[in-house]
């Protein structure tokens, strides 16, 4: 069969022949229809993600949409190594599949699943969002951030603050449900200090009105600024649930002890291992179930699987790249 095969860690997969999987007891054999290119898929293929399997060669792809031998259309996650989602056929533990509703096409389901999973898990399982909450989404212009804004609104957030580097893209998030947008520029030599001061002041002005939940997709300097602003501006002993989901701005921060002592902030992460896998799968099911009623919007760019090598490192912009097998 044809598949996106990783021969060397850190290198793009190659469209090549690979052995066709045979299902073992407790597994499902799936004819893959669509699989999205996510940062999770890239990092697992490179061996950088903590859930990655180191054995090579192997097929890339962490999740996708396909059809079982019984004709059921399903979303699946974490195929059994060395097989992956970026292939014509894969094998998956039967419990790692959930049905895809008829109202969602293969490409949309594949694109929604990963960012929807992370947003739902962070908002519902970790932050335990409640109607009337004020929610800040840090990194709101990315695919997951845009979905988080939409889901927070659907789940009853009273006010949504969206932050990101790209001021132009951030304006477009207002149409998805953001009430306030705060762009920032925290790099750039001499202008970095001025940008940090401006962002800090804007944050404090908003947070003094109250904040309940922060969903952070960036980490790095923007997360530092938000934590410090919470300590300075939020009422004494008001709990703030800060959920760390992604680290596209860097894996480390400087965390002042005073910011923890002088606030009731609760820091937590959301992802594989901090959320049980069955709950993550259930999160995808919840997103699928509300996709139509919530009018969830996600931009996609559809490519044939044969283009995987050239598209692997491409910037899809605000559109999620989805590979299809036919």
- Structural domains in the chain plus CATH codes: 2-103+292-324 (3.90.180.10), 114-269 (3.40.50.720)
pLDDT tens digits, residue range 13-37?
Answer: 999 999 999 999 999 999 999 999 9
Q: How far apart are CA 1 and CA 325, in angstroms?
A: 11
- In eight-state DSSP terms, residue 276 is -
pLDDT tens digits, residue range 236-285?
Answer: 899 999 999 999 898 999 999 999 999 999 999 999 999 999 999 999 99
Q: How far apart are CA 176 and CA 308, in angstroms?
A: 31
274, with CB counted inside 10 A (0-12, 13-18, 19+), is middle
99, 74 in Cβ contact below 8 A?
yes
243, 214 in Cβ contact below 8 A?
yes
Confidence of residue 305 (pLDDT cuts 50, 70, 90): very high
pLDDT tens digits, residue range 202-236?
Answer: 999 999 999 999 999 999 999 999 999 999 999 98
Give the C-alpha distances (Å, rounded to integers) separating 50 from 37, 114, 312.
18, 17, 20
The SS3 assignment for 105 reads coil
Parallel/antiparallel/unpaired status of strands 2-6 and 14-17: antiparallel
Q: What is the chain's alpha carbon radius of gyration, rounded to the nearest angstrom?
A: 20
Parallel/antiparallel/unpaired status of strands 63-68 and 73-77: antiparallel
Alpha carbon 252 to chain centroid distance? 19
pLDDT tens digits, residue range 101-152?
Answer: 999 999 999 999 999 999 999 999 999 999 999 999 999 999 999 999 999 9
pLDDT tens digits, residue range 39-64?
Answer: 888 987 876 555 556 688 999 999 99
Alpha carbon 115 to chain centroid distance? 4
- In eight-state DSSP terms, residue 272 is B
């Amino acid at each position: 069969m044809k598949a996106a095969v990783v021969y060397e860690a850190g290198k793009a997969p190659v469209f090549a022949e690979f052995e066709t999987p045979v299902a073992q007891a407790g597994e499902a054999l799936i004819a893959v229809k669509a699989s999205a290119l996510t940062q999770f898929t890239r990092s697992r293929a490179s061996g950088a993600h903590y859930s990655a399997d180191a054995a090579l060669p192997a097929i890339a792809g962490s999740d996708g949409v396909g059809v079982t031998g019984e004709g059921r259309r399903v979303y699946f996650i974490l195929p059994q190594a060395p097989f992956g989602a970026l292939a014509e056929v894969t094998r998956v533990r039967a419990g790692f599949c959930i049905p895809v509703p008829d109202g969602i096409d293969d490409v949309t389901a594949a694109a929604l699943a990963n960012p929807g999973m992370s947003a739902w898990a962070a908002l519902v399982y970790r932050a335990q969002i409640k109607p009337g909450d004020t929610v800040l989404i840090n990194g709101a212009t990315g695919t997951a951030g845009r979905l988080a804004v939409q889901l927070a609104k659907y789940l009853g957030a009273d006010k949504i603050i969206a932050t990101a580097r790209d001021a132009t893209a951030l304006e477009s998030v207002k149409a998805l449900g953001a009430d306030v947008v705060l762009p920032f520029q925290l790099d750039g030599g001499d202008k970095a200090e001025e940008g940090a001061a401006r962002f800090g002041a804007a944050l404090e002005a908003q947070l003094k009105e109250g904040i309940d939940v922060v969903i952070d997709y960036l980490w790095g300097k923007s997360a530092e600024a938000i934590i410090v602003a919470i300590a300075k501006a939020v009422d004494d002993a008001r709990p703030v649930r800060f959920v760390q989901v992604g680290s596209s701005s860097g894996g480390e921060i400087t965390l002042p002890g005073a910011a923890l002592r002088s606030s009731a902030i609760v820091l937590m992460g959301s992802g594989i291992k901090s959320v049980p896998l069955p709950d993550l799968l259930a999160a995808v099911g919840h997103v699928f179930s509300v996709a139509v009623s919530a009018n969830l919007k996600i931009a996609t760019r559809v490519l044939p699987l044969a283009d995987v090598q050239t598209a692997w490192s491409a910037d899809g912009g605000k559109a999620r790249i989805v590979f299809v097998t036919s």
